[in-house]
Amino acid sequence: MSALLKYTLARLGLFVVVAAALLAVPLDISSLLKLMIAVVVSAALAFFLLKGLREEASVQAVGAARRRTEKRERLRAALNGDDDGGESTTKAD
């Protein structure tokens, strides 16, 4: 399972747990307000509790962006007729 998916599911699970706890508590406030509080509280908890997953997801996203950039540069070089795969000296507008 990818790190991004793990992090997303962990954030969602954390929200569900906090929301369920707040909705179970008999307070005299609306359910919508309880859900908004759950969003804020779960975000704060995720900042501390999910640090490792967040870092893994970040590394994965940076790696994917780097691979896309390299692939795009190789494609541009091939389209410009560069055999060595380097950047072309002419720019197309």
Question: Has residue 86 been placed in a domain?
Answer: no
Answer whether 50's CB lies under 8 Å from 10's CB. yes
Q: Is residue 92 a part of any domain in this protein?
A: no
Provide the pLDDT for residue 27: 86
Number of domains in the chain: 1
Task: Give the per-residue pLDDT at 30.
Answer: 93
Give the structural domain span for 46: 3-80
Helix (H) / strand (E) element for 7: namely helix 3-24
The answer to whether residue 70 sits within a structural domain is yes
Compute and round to an integer the Cα radius of gyration of the chain.
23
Q: What is the pLDDT along the chain (93 residues), one digit of tens a residue?
A: 888 899 999 999 999 999 999 999 998 999 999 999 999 999 999 999 999 998 998 898 898 889 999 999 989 888 888 765 555 455 555
Residue 91 lies inside a defined structural domain of this protein: no
Domain presence at residue 39: yes
Residue 76 lies in a domain: yes
Q: Which residue has the tokens 């509790």?
A: 49
Tokens read off for 46: 């995720």
Residue 84: the pLDDT is 59
